[in-house]
A = this chain, B = another copy of it.
């Protein structure tokens, strides 16, 4: 693939943005990224979003954003891969620039969820799962993940409290991130006593919904030579698995994470040991464990042990979810993958703020659609 670089990033805080519409949220993040890059125009716009049709009565978001940005010369499209929509938009933008069809592309993830009622949102989120064979029998998205976590605890002998490290780390980082939805720390005691959502998943295992947008501007690497803000795209891959969890040979193994990570490592010429920080998809604590295992950081069934025995804080051995992750930064579903890209890029530029990872040179992001059905892995590198 033609070598590529990210030269501009932008984001809105993740919050209940009742004062801003979908197009404004996406527009603010996009303008931020363009301004950061010192650019006025862009050739292509790729918007990652999952729920705007259901929750805002608005499809056609690519052109909606191009219109709001007054970029009518640009081509524009919406990309959807459930909660993996953000990274899927990023990957589509990468391929568009790599193809030579355009010299710059804006990847934007946006979601506006908090104006809808809770049951409306739960129904809309269930469309990420198999409508006929999962949602159709009453399985909500959290219920599917609860079944996976229950099985994992049974198979490998873990207790609920063993997952506390993931949530505590995410909240500690979120407390230091001004863009995070939940800016407070939690204790092991709070984790133990939190309200149950779908056993064994309690509120502190589950990421909160939210409104927000994040964006990155991609150009060919040769157009970013000497640009101190440029971050290199070293590896990019996407893979799929069965949509329904019950169709998998092993429901506790994220084969699409393993495959996409393997491809991304190969493309980047790195191994897990080279990764300085990992923005993983902690929609539920169980997913953190499964991602660490599938990507080669932890032994199978030992994801919780990895988090307990290795420091996962920004100054630790493998920093994960450095700005709070889905758990504390928040999970505006179609935007999440782009928040991960923006946060990883900022870390590599030394702009991680209070959560800066010392000497961060190589960062990995992983965004998941459905219960592991679509998984995208990206590896970014510091320039020079």
Binding site for B on A (CB under 8 A): 1-2, 21, 50-51, 53-54, 56-64, 66-67, 71-82, 88, 91-92, 94-96, 98-101, 123-124, 126-132, 135, 236-244, 247, 255-256, 259, 369-370, 373-374
The prevalent SS among residues of A at the interface is mixed
Q: Which residue of B lies closest to A21 (CB)?
A: B132
Q: Which residue of B lies closest to A75 (CB)?
A: B238
| Contact A60 B127, beta carbon cutoff 8 Å | yes
25 A-B pairs with C-beta separation under 8 A: A2-B100, A51-B53, A53-B127, A57-B123, A57-B131, A57-B135, A60-B82, A60-B128, A61-B80, A62-B80, A63-B81, A63-B370, A64-B243, A67-B244, A67-B373, A71-B240, A75-B91, A76-B238, A77-B81, A79-B79, A92-B95, A95-B96, A95-B99, A98-B100, A99-B99
A77 touches which of B76, B238, B244 (Cβ 8 Å): B238
Q: Which residue of B lies closest to A64 (CB)?
A: B243
Q: A92-B77, A240-B75 are in contact. Are A101 and B1 (CB under 8 A)?
A: yes
Which B residues lie within 8 Å of A79 (CB)? 77-80, 92
Determine the distance from Cα of A80 to Cα of B78 in the docked complex, in whole angstroms.
Answer: 5
Q: A60-B81, A60-B127, A240-B63 are in contact. Are A76 and B132 (CB under 8 A)?
A: no
Q: A67-B242, A79-B92 are in contact. List 7 more A-B contacts (CB 8 A).
A: A51-B53, A58-B127, A62-B81, A64-B243, A79-B79, A95-B99, A95-B101
Which B residues lie within 8 Å of A242 (CB)? 67, 72
**Copies of this chain per assembly:** 2
A60 touches which of B1, B54, B78, B80 (Cβ 8 Å): B80
| Contact A369 B81, beta carbon cutoff 8 Å | no
Q: A2-B99, A240-B66, A374-B76 are in contact. Are A128 and B59 (CB under 8 A)?
A: yes
A72 touches which of B131, B241, B244 (Cβ 8 Å): B241
| Contact B95 A373, beta carbon cutoff 8 Å | no
Which B residues lie within 8 Å of A247 (CB)? 67
Determine the distance from Cα of A51 to Cα of B129 in the docked complex, in whole angstroms.
Answer: 16
Which B residues lie within 8 Å of A63 (CB)? 81-82, 240-241, 243, 369-370, 373-374
| Contact A75 B370, beta carbon cutoff 8 Å | no
| Contact B80 A80, beta carbon cutoff 8 Å | yes
Determine the distance from Cα of A149 to Cα of B80 in the docked complex, in whole angstroms.
Answer: 33
Q: A92-B92, A370-B63 are in contact. Are A75 and B1 (CB under 8 A)?
A: no
Which B residues lie within 8 Å of A373 (CB)? 60, 63, 67
